[in-house]
Structure 1
């Protein structure tokens, strides 16, 4: 069959970190005869070449190309392009990995939308990845209508005919930002770019040893020389004006201003950050007109101005102040409603552990202004927050703890100016967001695992993330587990930091089922069992009961499985109903196990602390859990010892005991 996708993986001394990459290639849903994997070994000196050769010998759709070390990833990727046979090529780094259906989904999406470039949703495991770009699917994206420029890593799928038609290849040699040059030109020359956001296609991984190429300290002179080549591409394919300024702003913001801000700057040695300062200042003076910085957030404009004006000491002072600014978000209510978890929370910015306060009125920074000192910079930022408060935002973010895949949920906001001391005010966001477990993962159901809740707070010059929580113990919302879309979703508080999270299809003891008593159950004369459960359901939900029976003589009876239903009850509880096959249950004690998601690949049965004693005549008695054998033996021993002790008591002892 024709090869649909060629996956190109440049390889250099990855050690064991390549195993996740290899495993993800072998798990792809695209049939092996429809894609190929080309590992280009760039002169590795560890055991990787032999590992890859053995892999290729076992799998016909995998090949390995060995070459002398070229110094960086550009040449190996180009060699892979020339060797590829696929309609599309996909670039993957050797310490990252793909989602199991990534190739199939991206290929079909690219074909359906006649795309030259397909950008698949990314998750960053210890590494930053774009979030806003993947808010929704975007079949026809451009640099004008979508924030494509936020994603410049090479981990995309590109049509091979497009690469050949344009002659587009990676810059080679030992250099930085070769992917920026390649991807920027691809965006600007493609007939169509498609963004796939409803499935995590690519997992961008920070190695435990932090030895990914992108985490190594770089030579500022060489780095910003390479950065200028990416700026050249923008200027080559755009006209002067707002679009060009907006694209150039990406490098000013990410590669320059953000590096010279807050804790990121303070973590660097002074001599190194001075070198960065001078190189960045040179690029700003040389390449960026006033329209580029004008579109930055107020705090970023201040940093850019301090760079341009050669005010290093003030820049460091600003970073020291800014490093203490962080949002905090606390949940105030959470309840199940109409099949979704409705979460209410407040959010505001703090400084040094206290709510940040602002002058009620003030004059913001001019677009090209430079503050006289730190106090004026702080005043400008405060005024920008107050003046722009009606545009402040808060998004609830669900993040898979295992993969770091993140999904945004827009919150409805009420913006409150709360009086504070000395006539100042606090800017407080009161937000409500609803998480639908059936569609919360970009339109797909939440998969099994732990999901942490974050809040992204946009206010004035800041846009920062924080965990949702903690909340005072006496006032914490504590909704029950819900059975939604074939999944058991338990809202809970983490033990260590007391933040709000979701457990999907993992919890058992925390569901509240172990607290059931015989009073929660009723059996009608015709054998209908009703059981009140502390579980939320939005409507009728099918579940299953499994019964394990023991006859009066101790012999095991054949297990029974019966269909059951959950229906909403008063409050957030539910009522389980099922018919008992009494004729098959007579003369035995039966212990129930409940499966709340019978359609799961691996159904999970949870033991209920009840027992049904069915007589030979069909009478049913509901009792609590039977005492386990070891406990019964222990109780017998305790009673025997106590009896012997009483028999040995003297009258005085007996009197004292009485």
Structure 2
């Protein structure tokens, strides 16, 4: 039983010079389906020098569920979040950022899930706006998720619901003392190991994670490699303290190798990095690979990332740059082959493939193996062995609501065709064809009002890329038959109109 007068949820929000950017978050809190007397929002003003503090004070005076703490500037979200925990009265605590926002029933759905399954941690489905969010984790609901049976390790931001007594029992707090990168990781990883039950709520998009284009939020500056890798090692120490050497530890370590190191040494991210920074970052990556990771960590990566790890471990920065220039041109290309209608349902057949510039991604036959073809020489063919990934290559079709960013995996049947390369070559590339039926009477639990776009998502050999398909489905009301707009026809009309003007 919850103590009378105790809120069900405390939302803790660090705020620093956010100004008008906080309005969307506040508006989303004020329209929560959870009654105002059943939750509280604690904004911790971290010494803002603009009008943020005054804005928050006005809101607190107007709304009983909003509280404000003012502190001297700490320079990082850790101190404000920890103070929020100390002042929270709710049975559960959710950590939000000042530029993000909640869906209307988010707090109610998260709390109901936590109570139904007696969970210490609940991860609500996230939608990304200009930033990535976990994809596979939210493919389905998971009501007893662990690091061993679910891809929890893919979600290490703190934007989750935590039982407050659980946080206090284990003294789970964010590391303080200067600007500590990856401060979320130390708390969240420990929480995953200590949680008696962790749930993943995937059938309702709870939280919208936003990338501020003005880059003025506190963690947007270019990271310092030395202190950054100290934080990486701290996270790895937590994993090591709770696991024995072997497949589980390797899989968990792989997350930091992939996300925090290799993904910064590839494609457009590498090409936009300053030269001296890149040299230092590559050196720190080399040290961690050599000092901390067992061979099984890199071995479990797909071939593209194995190649990046191989080059990084050997300090081959020039080859990393060469590979990045090639990879920067990679994208998924998709077409719609057929569309069939039946009341509120639409059946769509699509075809898609990965290309770099105009050339499909190729694989070379080598002693019965499929070897990924890259524009870099002197890489062990075993590193580039893509046989398993070619067999497991996947095509998903995803519906995305344009107004909110909600994404839904659609049921799809697909096949992968091996297509021979140009005459005189021994390479093949993969072309995927799939069919999905979208029932707009049932999609997203019947909450379909709005405009829905389709994406063909290809996963193979180290890439997950989306091809935007040129159909837009518009539902005037929830569950209604959609109107369909073929974006190809719209574009053709625009192109024709421009052509006429040019000719004149």
TM-score scaled by length of structure 2: 0.90
**Cα distance between partner residues in 1 of 2:379 and 2:463:** 14
Q: How does 1:161-310 map to 2 (within 5 A)?
A: 161-173=165-177, 174-310=179-315
**Cα distance between partner residues in 2 of 1:34 and 1:480:** 37
Partner of 1:120 in structure 2? 124
Change (3 A) 1:341 1:151: same
**Cα distance between partner residues in 1 of 2:298 and 2:383:** 16
Contact 1:119-1:156 at 8 Å conserved across structures: yes
Q: Secondary structure at the match of 1:213?
A: coil
Change (3 A) 1:372 1:85: closer
Partner of 2:386 in structure 1? 384
Partner of 1:374 in structure 2? 376
**How many angstroms does 1:236 deviate by?**
1.3
Change (3 A) 1:161 1:493: same
**Cα distance between partner residues in 1 of 2:404 and 2:182:** 26
Greater shift in the superposed pair: 208-217 or 250-259: 208-217
Instruction: Spell out, residue by residue over 1:74-123, the C-alpha distance to the aligned partner (whole angstroms, 9 max, x if none).
Output: 11111111111111011111111111111111001000001000100001
Partner of 1:110 in structure 2? 114
**How many angstroms does 1:361 deviate by?**
5.1
Contact 1:335-1:479 at 8 Å conserved across structures: no
Match among 475, 481, 489 for residue 482 of structure 2:
489
Instruction: Spell out, residue by residue over 1:469-503, the C-alpha distance to the aligned partner (whole angstroms, 9 max, x if none).
Output: 5xxxxxxxx9998999741412222269859xxxx
What stretches of structure 1 of length at least 5 have no aligned partner?
Answer: 470-477, 500-658
**Cα distance between partner residues in 1 of 2:147 and 2:72:** 37
Q: How does 1:437-476 map to 2 (within 5 A)?
A: 437-441=440-444, 444-469=445-470
Quick check: 1:429 aligned with 2:432? yes
Q: How does 1:579-618 map to 2 (within 5 A)?
A: none
**Cα distance between partner residues in 2 of 1:479 and 1:219:** 43
Aligned residues: 485
The structure number with the bigger radius of gyration is 1
Change (3 A) 1:160 1:498: same
Instruction: Spell out, residue by residue over 1:390-427, the C-alpha distance to the aligned partner (whole angstroms, 9 max, x if none).
Output: 32110001112222221112421122223342254332
What stretches of structure 2 of length at least 5 have no aligned partner?
Answer: 493-504
Q: How does 1:280-359 map to 2 (within 5 A)?
A: 280-337=285-342, 339-359=344-364
Contact 1:302-1:371 at 8 Å conserved across structures: no
**Cα distance between partner residues in 1 of 2:380 and 2:443:** 38
**How many angstroms does 1:316 deviate by?**
1.2
**How many angstroms does 1:213 deviate by?**
3.3
Quick check: 1:138 aligned with 2:142? yes
**Cα distance between partner residues in 2 of 1:193 and 1:338:** 40
Higher relative contact order, structure no. (Cα contacts within 8 Å, ≥ 6 residues apart) = 2
Contact 2:28-2:104 at 8 Å conserved across structures: yes
**How many angstroms does 1:190 deviate by?**
0.3
Quick check: 1:28 aligned with 2:28? no
**Cα distance between partner residues in 1 of 2:462 and 2:337:** 26
Partner of 1:647 in structure 2? none
Q: Secondary structure at the match of 2:482?
A: strand
**How many angstroms does 1:337 deviate by?**
4.0
**How many angstroms does 1:168 deviate by?**
0.9
Partner of 1:418 in structure 2? 419
Q: Secondary structure at the match of 1:18?
A: helix
RMSD: 2.6
**How many angstroms does 1:388 deviate by?**
4.1
